[in-house]
Amino acid sequence: MDRGFVLPNVGPGPDPLSFWELDASFAVLLLHRDFYCSECRQQIRRVKKRYDEFEARDAEVVSVLPEDRETATEWQKQYHLPFPTLADPDTELGDRFDQPTRFGLLGKLHDVIGRMPAAIVLDLRGDEPVESYAHRGDSRTDRPRIDELLEAVDHAATSSAAEGADSPDSVEIDRVEPTASADPLDDGTPTDDARTDGVVDEGGSDASDADAQADDALSPREAEPKPQRPLRTPEGVDLPEGVELRRGDSDDVVAAMRVLQGALLDIDGSTVRDAAPAGELLLAEEGDWVVGALVLRDGHVEGVAVRRERRGQGIGSALVEAAVLDEGSTVTADFRAGVRGFWKDLGFEVEQEGSRFWGVRTP
């Protein structure tokens, strides 16, 4: 097999690592923008949570950073990835697999403004790796969903490894359209209102009764899908008078972003837009005024914030408790040192990962 590359690996597996040393039928390359890319960090957290589904398909995930070994090691320390993490300071893999860049030569020289994300699925069953799927991002938020990557591996598994092995350039590449469209929110710049809006809150018949008891016995995942079911307020949560919790929809994205960005959280507009139709945008509302917001994606709290004038009233805690109850399984979060107490008080087991902290709460 053509090795294709030999790069330092700071994660599990051989160091250095090349294609022929991957003990798998398929490889899923995640070509990141740089160490500081928040969307890249969200992506690997989601992949890590569902890594067992890749393993079940005999697919190895490879996280590729266009950084030196020291920086890649810090990345691995922060996330404890169960799959290889490669340091690729000369963008060997990015160049080989046409990882897109913007702004011409300037973009190639400065990853933070030019390099876009890419995800590549390789079939390793033949004499040489064959590219069977590629998603090359048009923007920093243009990434495939985890389900799309798994489907791409399934599709590759049904194809013959010999097809196109002699002429890899002729392999048809699946292209999944981005789930988030271009939007002014994508630039991550808070509006004037957002800058002062908020900060993270730290601080019947017998038969009917029987049916209700049966419904209560079902876990949230066994009940109807999130978008179709109302958001339950956990028992014991004491909300301020007039404040109610509900599930947000696409019409609430702008209001939620104002709260989240007003708290200076590092969360992208596309993340909130994708969460809304999935039933994973949770809101605290007083009348028609959104006073708190929480975004949960694949069991991970991407952000929770409350307007400044309503903080310290338990609204943020109520949103987290509602998210845990709604998810019905393990919920995770990562956060800065200043809010460790908030998460510990909510029953999260907290560990330091680099300069940030990681919290886990199990039912």
Write down the H helix ranges in the chain: 38-49, 51-56, 69-79, 92-96, 104-109, 111-114, 146-157, 206-217, 253-262, 269-275, 315-327, 340-345
Q: Write down the pTM of the prediction.
A: 0.55
How many whole angstroms separate alpha carbon 255 and alpha carbon 213? 36
Tell whether 75 and 203 lie within a shared domain: no
| pLDDT score recorded for residue 230 | 87
- The CATH number of the domain holding residue 215 is 3.40.630.30
Tell whether 155 and 195 lie within a shared domain: no
For residue 78, the enclosing domain spans 19-170
**Mean pLDDT on 13-22:** 87
Tell whether 157 and 231 lie within a shared domain: no
At 269-288, the pLDDT tens digits run 878 988 999 999 999 999 99
Tell whether 130 and 257 lie within a shared domain: no
The count of structural domains within the chain is 2
| pLDDT score recorded for residue 102 | 61
Last residue of a domain, one of 147, 170, 193: 170
Tell whether 189 and 147 lie within a shared domain: no
Q: Phi/psi at 188 (nearest 5 deg)?
A: 70, 10
Tell whether 306 and 345 lie within a shared domain: yes
Tokens of 110: 């400065």
- Whether 53 is in a domain gets the answer yes
All residues at 6 or more sequence positions from 111 whose CB lies less than 8 Å from its CB, including other chains: 33, 34, 66
Give the confidence band of 176 by pLDDT, cuts at 50, 70, 90. Answer: very low
**Mean pLDDT on 187-214:** 39
Tell whether 263 and 132 lie within a shared domain: no
Considering only CA atoms, which of 149, 116, 115 is closest in space to residue 134?
A: 149
- The CATH number of the domain holding residue 49 is 3.40.30.10
Tell whether 90 and 195 lie within a shared domain: no
| pLDDT score recorded for residue 108 | 43
Hey, is 123 helix, strand or coil?
Answer: strand
CB contact at 8 A, 150 and 133: no
What DSSP state is assigned to residue 254?
H
Tell whether 267 and 356 lie within a shared domain: yes
Tell whether 49 and 139 lie within a shared domain: yes
| pLDDT score recorded for residue 8 | 92
Tell whether 253 and 194 lie within a shared domain: yes
- Whether 8 is in a domain gets the answer no
Start-to-end C-alpha separation, the chain? 46
Sheet containing 59-65: order of strands: 85-87, 59-65, 26-31, 118-123, 130-136
At 68-104, the pLDDT tens digits run 999 899 888 878 899 999 999 988 888 888 888 764 4
